[in-house]
Structure 1
């Protein structure tokens, strides 16, 4: 029975240690260091439960001295090196205060036994610990306002940078509304593993794929695009919202709103965004006001697509209910719009390759197409323009080469979700093949196609020549049967700076 009890204690200790090691790997701690640290934790756990396993003369006291102290110091060092954020100061001081007061209580109770000299010594130690606990508690209380002021200063400095970016030379005047205009907005970059982006046919699938994202740190930076739509009948709209300045530049503060777990399970440097890439700045420099944006079509709830929602509290957010109910979302991004959600029924009948669709306004101008797989309720958005249509892909497919879904595939969830995503990709293929006036617009395209898109949509809508250039570019990358042409296969190119590049050859 004693052995079973010890095993019962060892199991949760190992589980907690494993979770902590995963967090540290997410924070990019080197694998060799984690192996050494993990062995130290394992040795400590075994030594405390079975001291003699580490030697005949081993005792728990020796184990604590030889392994416990290094493990504690290593844990503190790793925490402060890769996890600590300024808002932790009051909490850490409060924990230290509680520990000191608890120690004072224990020493004080023990001080009632023994000789007069020993009792006096214990009393002094109890008073010192109690005084330290009270002082640390006072510092914890005082630090709250200081920490809040620090974060306000960070945000105020960011707000000033955004204002200066809005006023920088080169802003446009708002054009006359006469036709549908679409403006691609490059809202920063996200850092991902190369395999997550391009390795779906090389084992990056399901749980295995997610595990590899922890172990494989061959990373690339890919753009995050949102799209502003100026519609003469339906006003100012967006497809996705990208990431915000706060997510990139106050990452720990932004994700701290979800508690310590949200901050621990996100990567501190996962987003890169300059002031002039912020959604609010780009909209203003195009001659618009974010307050005018009345509708956001959210392809899915992932935070690199929904982070900008906090800048659009007046907008109605249209998204598939399955993503709201079952998708992986970060609530803080949705706090200001959660009362303004609209869920399509997809009851407008079939559209080309899609058996279900939603004609959002009832005039065929914006049609929503379900493409589940990447998330439970992922959808694409088809917007009719004068003489052309734009199909907003979200994360159904990351880039133009991903349309060759049998040769290039992003990491998929696995099982039925992978099958759904591949089927969605094939429906997109058939739609693009039959609707030759339609061009795909991607959320993370890091290929030359994005520059062709930026050129074609530089004034908000492609003319006939611009549309033809985009379709011709597609033909240089993909064959009519959706295979990659020679020279278009992606390859990872390592970089000494840590984040690599993608070459096509």
Structure 2
């Protein structure tokens, strides 16, 4: 009985590990029929090694290894090389191969000594060959380190040349220093998400179930990633969020560790040289070194990646996100000593029970909106002609303000409750002050692409620009925060030759 329980104890984690690996491969777009065959090989080899007779009366562990284990092992190596391997893995793979050969050689040597007893025992020929191969592979592993790093430096240098060329391209804007408050939307690239993750919160995309579906569902769309630059006459150059950086988009596997690589897609971010945060700032007449403060709505990496370019800035964020929400710390490496955590002790602000008047003059008010992350917050900027509410990921798009009809994936449980409560408070704030307009980080509708970009093209929308944005909101949403006809999103599969689908509204 103890032996059976021990084998079951080995079988269960082995099968769970195999299942997790299959999910990862599906995330990497490996065809489902191939995964079925490969999964059967994995399961058969594990079960066969534990209970050989299950696969036939004449079955032995050696036969299981030969007919199932070896194909499964080669399949694992092939799939890894095809969908996970990155050039910086080469030294590690060579070192593992060297260690395997040396271990095999040691085993062969011990077996040879057992078979030939006495003082004249000699190691077997196999041990010599395997040991030699192990030493050669070890040497190659050491030599490959510098070659790999050199190749990566060349690639990054090429990207830097492209960035510099984008900065120097004609058509840039000269900085205007007339003491007027300006706000500029900065498109820092696009991210690839599943349609359900973006719009399926009311269709079962919640909690663990929603996360699993993001791994296996291939109904994908591209959505923009926006940061916002504030040129404030009293408080200097400020940013709300920072978008993604060039390495995330073009050196994804080098930027993230193995775990992050396994659970994300290589092309999850798309960025042209012109969309680099430093290029966008330079084209507007500013320099990244001039940014004094970053208001980070939350810590997710598509909002924090640009921190790599702002090591001198003070980063204002909710402590709960720093303590419990950081998944990819590399983006914070250069600013982790410059963090500032608001106390949210400025009292209630409308429907919000707590707020933080950051500068003490009412110009920027931080509003806690937890749910999407533990310490998510929105940023309200007061202007002479009205106000701007930077939404972060509390709500993805303008139609998401109809939170009972359109909802993004939520974490589940209390976090979902908190996020919906935050949406209600935002609705209340917008309803109580018609001079405030929302600005989103990922809006893929005409509100962002047509109205917002037009109104803020020069950084100064004026009262008329804000009124036009509110007028557009009224064409999409009723006063009761319901969608008007013609504004319900639906997924359209990718056309022939296209990689991703699109969203239409009707």
TM-score bracket for the superposition, by shorter chain length: over 0.9
Tell me how far 1:22 sits from its aligned partner: 2.4
1:390 corresponds in structure 2 to 388
- Kindly provide the CA deviation profile for residues 319-362 of structure 1, in whole angstroms up to 9, marking residues without a partner as x: 00010111143110000000000000111011122111000000
| Range with greater deviation from structure 2 (347-356 or 186-195) | 347-356
Q: Residues of 2 paired with 1:459 and 1:14: CA distance? A: 58
Secondary structure at 1:409's aligned position in 2?
Answer: coil
Whole-Å Cα distance in 2 between the matches of residues 488 and 6 of structure 1? 57
**8 Å contact kept, 1:48–1:63:** yes
Which aligned pairs between 1:428-467 and structure 2 lie closer than 5 A? 428-450=426-448, 451-467=450-466
- Cα deviation per residue 1:220-277 (whole Å; 9 max; x = unaligned)? 0000000011000000000000001110000000113xxx222222211110001000
The equivalent of 1:296 in structure 2 is 294
Q: TM-score, normalised by structure 1?
A: 0.97
Q: Who is 1:321 aligned against? A: 319
Q: In the TM superposition, what is the alpha-carbon distance from 1:178 to its structure 2 partner?
A: 1.4
- C-alpha displacement of 1:115: 5.7
Native 8 Å contact 2:24 2:215 kept in 1 = no
Per the alignment, residue 468 of structure 1 pairs with 467
Verify: 1:108 aligned to 2:109, yes or no. yes
Q: What is the CA–CA distance in structure 2 between the aligned matches of 1:30 and 1:317, rounded to whole Å?
A: 43
Structure 1 contact 296–318 (Cα < 8 Å) conserved = yes
Q: Which residue of 1 aligns with 2:221?
A: 220
The range that moved more, 145-154 or 322-331, is: 322-331
User: What residue number does 2:283 align with?
Assistant: 285
- 1:35-434 equivalences under 5 Å are 35-114=36-115, 123-256=124-257, 260-434=258-432
| Mean CA deviation greater in 204-213 or 282-291 | 204-213
> Which stretches in structure 2 are left out of the alignment for 5+ residues?
none
Q: CA deviation at 1:457?
A: 0.2
What SS is found at the alignment partner of 1:9? helix
Contact 1:179 1:386 in 2 (8 A): no
Partner of 1:499, secondary structure, is coil
Q: 1:493 corresponds to which residue?
A: 492
> Displacement, 1:96?
0.7
The answer to whether the 8 A contact 2:23-2:216 is kept is no
Deviation sequence 1:95-128 (CA, Å, 0-9, x none): 1111111111111122224369xx9995222111
Give the conservation status (yes or no) of the 8 Å contact 1:177–1:231: no
Q: CA deviation at 1:416?
A: 1.0
Contact in 1 for aligned 2:315/2:338 (Cα 8 Å): yes
Q: Structure 2 length normalisation: TM-score?
A: 0.97
Give the unaligned 5+ runs of structure 1.
none
Residues 245 and 273 of structure 1 are in contact (CA less than 8 Å); yes or no, is this contact kept in structure 2?
Answer: yes
Query: 1:39 aligns to what SS in structure 2?
Result: helix
Q: How many aligned positions are there?
A: 500
> SS in structure 1 opposite 2:501?
strand
Distance 1:54 1:177 in 2: 81
Matches of 2:115 and 2:345, distance apart in 1: 83
CA distance in 1, matches of 2:77, 2:462: 60
Q: Which moved more, 1:36-45 or 1:471-480?
A: 36-45
Q: Please identify runs of 4+ aligned residues in structure 1 that moved more than 4 A.
A: 119-122
Question: What is the deviation of 1:377?
Answer: 0.4
Paired with 1:115 and 1:353, the residues of 2 have a C-alpha distance of 86
Q: Secondary structure at the match of 2:124?
A: helix
- Give distance in 2, aligned partners of 1:283 and 1:167: 12
